[in-house]
Structure 1
Amino acid sequence: MKKRVKGKSLKEIQPNTMYMGCTFYLDCVDGEDFAGTEFDNCSFRGSFCDWGRDECGLWMGFTYKDVHQVMRWIRPGTFMMGSPETEEGRFEDEVQHQVTISKGFWLAETVCSQELWEAVIGNNPSYFKGKKFPVEMVSWDDCKTFTEKLNEQMKEWQCYLPTEAQWEYACRAGTTTAFSFGDRITKDQVNYDENKTVEIKSLPRNNWGLYEMHGNIGEWCSDWYGEYDISITIDSIGLNDGTNRVIRGGCWVDPSVYVRSAWRRRYEPVSHYHSVGFRFCLRPQ
């Protein structure tokens, strides 16, 4: 039987609890706190002002200078990172190995839009203009500046670029095929082998509610590029240093084999391309 709480002002949520007529001032929240909870006529305040559950899982949203961003809760789990030797289009740096993501995290359901970038940074460097289009022409160093500025405003949260392991885990969304949609994709599912980007949320999301993980725009990750250290099986974070940072997901100009879940690209962290943007994570401080 669930615990019942009525008419209180609270700063935290407890799993397996029924809340009735409560007000929550949520500055920090772990997605696991919502396990088994129910809410009746409750209101939410703080950084995350709206939330919900759907067939893809738990989401929460925040608004920054009138720009709304939805984050998806990515639960901990274990998966096979990389690709099997039989996968079409496979590269040698995709050595398949087991990785465990030990802690859940909030991941943006879309890549960073131009309107959110402009709200945080104050300019728009993108080649393909449009407030609902992905921001591109941003280097890894630029993205680091973005996360630092957002952290200054959302002091309860740490904004950061996902690790390569976190990115592939979220992209696969429980699948083992070349793409989260199966071993083949269509232009109705992914923006690839085309001549420009498309608006965010234009194409179907994966099983965990994430849009355009394949194609449209490449996504910077936090890792330095290098061969996988397959001895590290828990929360892999790549090399300690290097020359190039990892980019995942492929982009609008790439053929289909370059937008697979396991595919890897790398650029110097100062590089700017109209094929590369990013999506970010949040975790409580």
Structure 2
Amino acid sequence: MEQCVKCGARIDSDSKYCDECGTPVVNGKTISCAYCETENRADAKFCKGCGIPLVAMPGVETPLIKEDEIKTSVSMVKVPGGSFMMGNGESDAPKHKVQINDFYIGATCVTQSLWKTLTGVNPSEYQGENLPVDCVSWYDAIVFCNLLSKRDRLMPCYIINGSKNPARWGCVPDGRDAKWDSVVCDWKANGYRLPTEAEWEYAAAGGTGGEGFRFSGGNEIMELGWYNGNSEGKAHDVAAKAPNRLGIFDMTGSVWEWCWDWYDALYYNVCPESNPTGPVDQSYRIRRGGSIFDRSHFCGISCRFYYDPQMACLNYGIRVCRSSAPL
């Protein structure tokens, strides 16, 4: 007979709950952390080994962390859920209706200051604490998201070979890598992740009712973002241009922003209406928004581009998001 870790009552070895106080029982008396694998008390909310929240195990109601208990270090904007017409019906076609749940997205791109604080290095070609980080590959981006989640005591989203701990993934590849390409996103986790292509376009438009604009925040690109017509070929501080209607900066120009999705030219023909997360197992990952080197056309809200996930170019950056509720 086991003893309940909370009230001390005896419990049968096959019990999932204490019949005196209702405390869940996992592996006899503990919960294993999905990030660092430390064994914790069954009633613990946070891991004693790494500090991140403990998520529910199959068949067991583990204590959950309420949204108002979460304190993060990144300025995030809540994007109210709704529907919009994705695509432009021309080059990015067909135009199609998409429904998006509430989510949070970074008010700005990730800055070099935040990237260096978290990783200890600054890969950027253009150096400056308040400049957007650049020279970031898609592989770099998913590592950063999980590290930032851990620092803010959130449950990381990305899983490679069964682990959410990037230290167990090995070195970030500088070429295509089948193991890294098989990464899975835990859509139920509350940590940071890359936005889906649909979430990105919805946020750039300003949510429901904003998709009529050509750029994020309006139709006058000079006021909204840095592109080849005003950047002078150099990076500029984040949030130096006007935000869109939700208070989100720099989704027009500055740096290309990686999204979660694989690219498929025909995906718009078959994508689901509700919270699409992209096709499965293609060759390239989506990037959105244009950059300081691009013409205005490529900085449009609906413009789709893609590249190899291992490539870290001097105009490639990252903007993080978080789910408000499981997708």
Instruction: Give 1:16-95 correspondences, 5 Å limit.
Output: 28-29=66-67, 47-48=70-71, 62-63=72-73, 69-85=74-90, 91=91, 93-95=92-94
SS at match of 1:188: helix
Moved more, 130-139 or 173-182: 173-182
Instruction: Specify the alignment match of 1:145 in structure 2.
Output: 143
Asked if the contact 2:215–2:221 (Cα under 8 Å) also holds between the matched residues in 1, the reply is no
Runs of 4+ in 1 over 6 A off after TM superposition: none
Instruction: Specify the alignment match of 2:246 in structure 1.
Output: 208
TM-score, normalised via structure 2 length: 0.64
Moved more, 75-84 or 223-232: 223-232
SS at match of 2:75: strand
How far, CA to CA, are the matches of 2:197 and 2:279 in structure 1? Answer: 11
How far, CA to CA, are the matches of 2:125 and 2:319 in structure 1? Answer: 18
Report whether the alignment pairs 1:178 with 2:230.
no
Instruction: Specify the alignment match of 1:99 in structure 2.
Output: 98
Aligned length: 220
Q: Per-residue deviation at 1:283?
A: 3.1
Instruction: Specify the alignment match of 1:4 in structure 2.
Output: none
Asked if the contact 2:94–2:268 (Cα under 8 Å) also holds between the matched residues in 1, the reply is no
How far, CA to CA, are the matches of 2:138 and 2:126 in structure 1? Answer: 19
Asked if the contact 1:185–1:256 (Cα under 8 Å) also holds between the matched residues in 2, the reply is no
Instruction: Specify the alignment match of 1:188 in structure 2.
Output: 223
How far, CA to CA, are the matches of 2:109 and 2:318 in structure 1? Answer: 5
Asked if the contact 1:83–1:178 (Cα under 8 Å) also holds between the matched residues in 2, the reply is no
Q: Per-residue deviation at 1:111?
A: 0.5
Deviation track 1:175-226 (CA, whole Å, cap 9, x = no partner) reads 22322343x4242322111301210010000001100000011100000011
How far, CA to CA, are the matches of 1:197 and 1:94 in structure 2? Answer: 31
How far, CA to CA, are the matches of 2:221 and 2:301 in structure 1? Answer: 15
Letter of the 1:272 counterpart: A
Asked if the contact 2:235–2:254 (Cα under 8 Å) also holds between the matched residues in 1, the reply is yes
SS at match of 1:143: helix
Deviation track 1:32-84 (CA, whole Å, cap 9, x = no partner) reads xxxxxxxxxxxxxx542xxxxxxxxxxxxx33xxxxx2100111100000003
Give me the identity figure in percent.
Answer: 32
How far, CA to CA, are the matches of 1:237 and 1:125 in structure 2? Answer: 29
Instruction: Specify the alignment match of 1:272 in structure 2.
Output: 312
Instruction: Specify the alignment match of 1:155 in structure 2.
Output: 153
- Among candidates 257, 276, 291, match of residue 236 of structure 1: 276
How far, CA to CA, are the matches of 2:292 and 2:285 in structure 1? Answer: 20
Larger-Rg structure: 2
Q: Per-residue deviation at 1:28?
A: 3.8
How far, CA to CA, are the matches of 1:28 and 1:248 in structure 2? Answer: 32
Letter of the 2:214 counterpart: A
Instruction: Specify the alignment match of 2:301 in structure 1.
Output: 261
Deviation track 1:115-157 (CA, whole Å, cap 9, x = no partner) reads 1111111100000100100000010000011011122223333
1:132–1:94: structure 2 CA closer, same or farther, 3 Å change rule? Answer: farther
TM-score, normalised via structure 1 length: 0.73
Asked if the contact 1:94–1:263 (Cα under 8 Å) also holds between the matched residues in 2, the reply is no
Q: Which has the higher strand share?
A: 1
How far, CA to CA, are the matches of 1:180 and 1:214 in structure 2? Answer: 6
Letter of the 1:177 counterpart: F
Instruction: Specify the alignment match of 2:198 in structure 1.
Output: 165
How far, CA to CA, are the matches of 2:93 and 2:289 in structure 1? Answer: 13
Alignment RMSD, CA only?
A: 2.0
Letter of the 2:94 counterpart: V
- Among candidates 198, 201, 224, match of residue 236 of structure 2: 198
Asked if the contact 1:114–1:131 (Cα under 8 Å) also holds between the matched residues in 2, the reply is yes
